[in-house]
Structure formats: C-alpha cells, structure tokens
Amino acid sequence: MRSFYVIIFTCICLDAFTQNLELIGKPDAIKVSGGFNATAIGYTASGINARRDPFNYFLSGNVTADVYGISVPVSFSYSNQQVSFRQPFNQFSIAPTYKWAKVYAGYHNLTYSSYSLVGHIFSGAAIELTPSKFRLHAMYGTLNQAVEEDTIRQSQPAYRRVGYAVKAGYGDNQNSIDLILFKAEDEINSLRQQPVKAQVFPMENLVLSAIAKKKLGTHFTWSGEIASSALSRDTRVTPTELEKTNAFAYVGGWFTPRASSEYHHAMKTSVGYTGGAIHMQLNYERIDPGYQSLGAYFINNDMENITVSTSVRLLNNKLDLSANVGTQRNNLNDAKVNATSRTVGAFNFNFNPSQAWNVTGSYSNFTTFTRVRPRFDPFFNNALDSLNFYQINQNITSSVSYSFGSKEVKQGIFFNGSFQMADETAKTNVPSNDTRVYTGNLAYRYTKTASNLTLTAAVNYNRGDIGSTNTLSLGPNLSITKSFLEKKLRCTFTATYNQQFQNQILQSNVMNLRANGSYSIKKKHAFSINVVSLTKFAADTDKTGFSEYTATFNYGYSF
C-alpha cells in the first residue's frame, strides 16, 4: 500500500515539474490572491446583566498562491472567544490543486455518500485524484476532540474519535460506479478518567457502501446506493465471533465484533424518465432502525419511502408544475408499540404570467426536522437561547409579488405566507403537542434609481398554537437605504417594533433600531460599521424593561 502512494505522488510531481519548466519566465507563472478580515464587537446593556462579553474580535484570512499551475489555497481564523485553544489559529485549512489532483490539510468537511461520510468536519488530511474517468478519494483525521467530564459545569464528555475513508470509482455523469469504505473509532485512553455520570462509551464503526448509476437508452436513467454499517456502542466489551452469514465476518481487521455490536443496512434507488417538457422519477428508500454512521451528524433511520415525482412545463414555460407523492412508514422491525404508515406528498407551482407578476405555492406533508427560532425579531440573536426541534408534518407556503413603475421609479408589493402543522420534539422528554404555526409578511418597496434611494415598509404576523397555548407576535418594519459617492458609501437604517402575546396577555414589547454604513475603496478595502439598539419595554407580565447596545466594526482587504 505504501508503494502505491509513492508511485502516485511521484507521477504527480513529475507531471507538475514538466509543466513548471514550460511556465518559467512567463509573467503570469506566479499568482497570489486572497483577503483579510477583521471584526471588532462592542456590547453594553442597561437594566439587565450583560448577556455577552463587552468586547470580542475575530480575525480571518485566506491566501491562494498559483505557482506554475499549482493552486495552493490557505485559510485561517482566530477569535478571542476560544481562549482555551493553545494553538495560534482556531482553524487552519489548505487545499492545493493541480490539474486532476487535490490535497486537503487542516479543517475540512467532505461527503462521500448519503450513508457513510456526510459532511462531518474533521481535522487531518485528504486527497482527490480524478484522472479521466477514474477517481480516488481518501481522508484521515480527527472527527471529535477529547473532552473531559466536568461534573460541576455538567459538560458533555467525549472520546477522541479518529476516522478514515476511501472512495474509489470509475465513470461519468451518466454511467458510473463507486465503492466506499469508512472507519471511525474512539480512543479509550484519550480521557484521563472514564465518565461517571454521563452515559458516554467508546464506539467503533465501519460502513461499506456502493453507488452506481446507468443511462438506459435515450430517455431513462437508473441510480442506486446500498450501505451496511457495523457499530459497536462500547469497545470495552469482549470481542465475539460472527456467523458466516454476516458479511462483516470477512472484513478482517477493519472491525472487531463485540456483544455491543449492531449491524444495519440502508439503500435507495430511483428510475427516471425525461422527454420534452416532462420528467418523471420513481424512488425507493429504506433505512433500517438503528442505522448510524459516525461520519454523519444525523441520519433519519427506521424509515421506508416509496415516491413518484413528476414535473411539467406549460404555457410556453410560464407555468411550472411539480409533484412528489408516495407512501411512508416506520417501525420496520415491529419493535415499537406504535407505527405510522401514511401517504406523503409535495406539490409545487410557479406561475409567471408576465414580468410584473410572480406567483408561487407549495404543499408538503413529508416528515422533516427543522431548528426553529423566533422570527418576530430578525435582528436579535442571543446565542444563549435554547432552540427547539420540530418534526414538520404539513407545510403550506405561498408568495405573490407585483412590480410596477418606471425605470426611474420602481415599485413593488410582496406577500409571503405559510402554515405549518407539527409535532414538537424538544430536547427534554416532554410529551409532544400538536403545533400550528401561521406566518405572514406584507411589504411595499419604493426605489428611486437616480437618487440610489430605497424605502421598504412591511408588516409581520406570526401566530403559534400549541395545545391550549396561543402565541401571537406582530409589528411594523421600516427600512431606508441610500448610496452616496458613486455607490461607494452605502447607508441603511432599519426600525422594527414587535409585540408578543400569549393567550391575549402582552409578554414582550420590543423596539429594534439598526444603523449600518459601508464604504469601499478601489474594491480592495471595505469598511463597515453596524450599530444596533434593542429596547424591551414593560409588559403585562414583566413591568421592568431593559436596553442593549451592540456596535460592530469590520475591515476587509482583498488582493
């Protein structure tokens, strides 16, 4: 194996060296580009204890050097918020490329398939080789850093997790096949002492996956993926022997079977048809209960979907219609007391009868997971706020826009609305409640092009019904934007006022003012300052008020 990597590396170097000789003496043989960004944030509050540090700063930068055809990008970031980090940079990444070869080093995230390595951030190295129709991807690095248990602060401990993956394939966009191996394992000795209160155990995971697609004739295509995952939830358990009927009995030293090991499978396949303005596709997906990959932050398992999707364009491409209908069920192994089996569907349309009008709408009742935060105040972002998770069952959205006026004065009226019916799945073990959420936004925009002036007035409406609890938030919004000095200086002022009620009792009364200014010099230097004032007035349930003030200064330089 070591000889293989030496041969590959030697070939790349020889090819690069040959190209370098051809570029010697040319004025564009060496190119350097990149940028630097510095941000400083000041904060103060009156009437309450400060909810963030009075001063924070962030530094980041990136440099890309192209030396004789070899591209070497480097990036870094630093912040005083992570003072316990001993290295000079919080994050560092480099990804040099040359023709069909690319190398990663530092912090990156990669996706090899839907059931193996799926966008997980790692610190390490990776390589991509894509000569012609062949491709070889490989990575190795740390997926999780070790975190000691702190019984006083009740922090969640974690073992250091190391992983590697290999993806080898051949083909193009129409016909291809890829084989994937992903392995991750926690280091037992990465913690000085084993967690006492937290139920955290060292784990080991091996995922084998195959992806293929094939063009069938002129109009049909087929694609599919199948994956198997072996997961040991506690590697301290004594190893065992696997039956010969289990495919993981033949993986050698890649995985150690134990009494705590589980073996699950996942697959999806689809057949599509495209002809003229019509496209249709049949999809099937099944993920075993308990399927998990340590290369993914989350995989929705215990699920079987059979769906048919279609789309068509009508009225000279002015009307787009699409639909996705099928069946969905869980409890695939009959281990749960309750099981769900239902018809699912999604319908979308987009209608553009003229340049002035645009109408869109959609409906879906697929099960999805969404992180929800209050939308009534878009400028107030408190990192300490706890966020709930919702499992959306039904979702209806619509939007209508109408533009009118002239080239000198442009005007528009916009409406957006949505309805969601959900089952709340909060972080605690509280029984779920049916939830209905209604949102609406009506806005008017006025733009005078000669003066570089834009005025926007809007009204926001948000209502949520959770069991017997009703919440309502509404209020106006006004925004003014003006550009000066040949659009080099841009100033914006925004005012938002919102009231929030719970069961018709005023809970919150908030005024938010924001002023922003940005100025650029020769497209290389960019300065901006942003000042936000948030004032919470007395309400029925809270007679006290408070104010918070945040000022953010940013400087960016690009070359």
Q: How many other C-beta atoms can be found within 10 angstroms of the C-beta atom of residue 338?
A: 6
Q: How confident is the model at residue 389 (pLDDT cuts 50, 70, 90)?
A: very low
Mean pLDDT, the chain, integer? 84
Q: Note the pLDDT of residue 80.
A: 80
CA-derived radius of gyration, the chain? 28
Whether residue 127 is predicted with pLDDT greater than 70 in this model: the reply is: yes
- Residues 464-497 have pLDDT tens digits of 888 788 999 999 999 999 999 888 999 999 999 9
Q: Assign 349 to helix, strand or coil.
A: strand
CA gap 282, 271 in Å, rounded: 5
Whether residue 155 is predicted with pLDDT greater than 80 in this model: the reply is: no
Cβ atoms of residues 341 and 370 within 8 Å: no
Tokens of 553: 């200064």
% of the chain with per-residue pLDDT over 70: 84
**Which helix (H) or strand (E) segment is 3 a member of?**
helix 2-23
Q: Note the pLDDT of residue 68.
A: 66
Q: Note the pLDDT of residue 513.
A: 96
End-to-end C-alpha distance for the chain, whole angstroms:
42
- Residues 2-28 have pLDDT tens digits of 333 333 333 433 333 333 434 455 666
- 558, 539, 531, 536: which is closest to 547 by C-alpha? 536
Alpha carbon of residue 402 to chain centroid: 32
- Residues 323-360 have pLDDT tens digits of 999 888 888 888 777 777 777 889 999 999 999 999 99
Q: Assign 103 to helix, strand or coil.
A: strand
pTM: 0.66
Q: How confident is the model at residue 95 (pLDDT cuts 50, 70, 90)?
A: confident
- Listed by start position, the domains of the chain span 100-278+286-301
Mean pLDDT (whole number) for 515-519: 95
Mean pLDDT (whole number) for 90-116: 86
- Residues 413-451 have pLDDT tens digits of 999 999 988 765 544 444 456 788 999 999 999 999 999
Residue 508 — left, alpha, or beta (φ > 0 → left; ψ -120 to 50 → alpha)?
A: beta
- Residues 214-236 have pLDDT tens digits of 999 999 999 999 999 999 999 99
Q: How confident is the model at residue 168 (pLDDT cuts 50, 70, 90)?
A: very high
Q: Note the pLDDT of residue 200.
A: 87
Tokens of 169: 């394939």
CA gap 41, 554 in Å, rounded: 9
- Residue 485 to residues 152, 430, 451, 489, 528, Cα–Cα distance (Å): 56, 57, 11, 6, 15
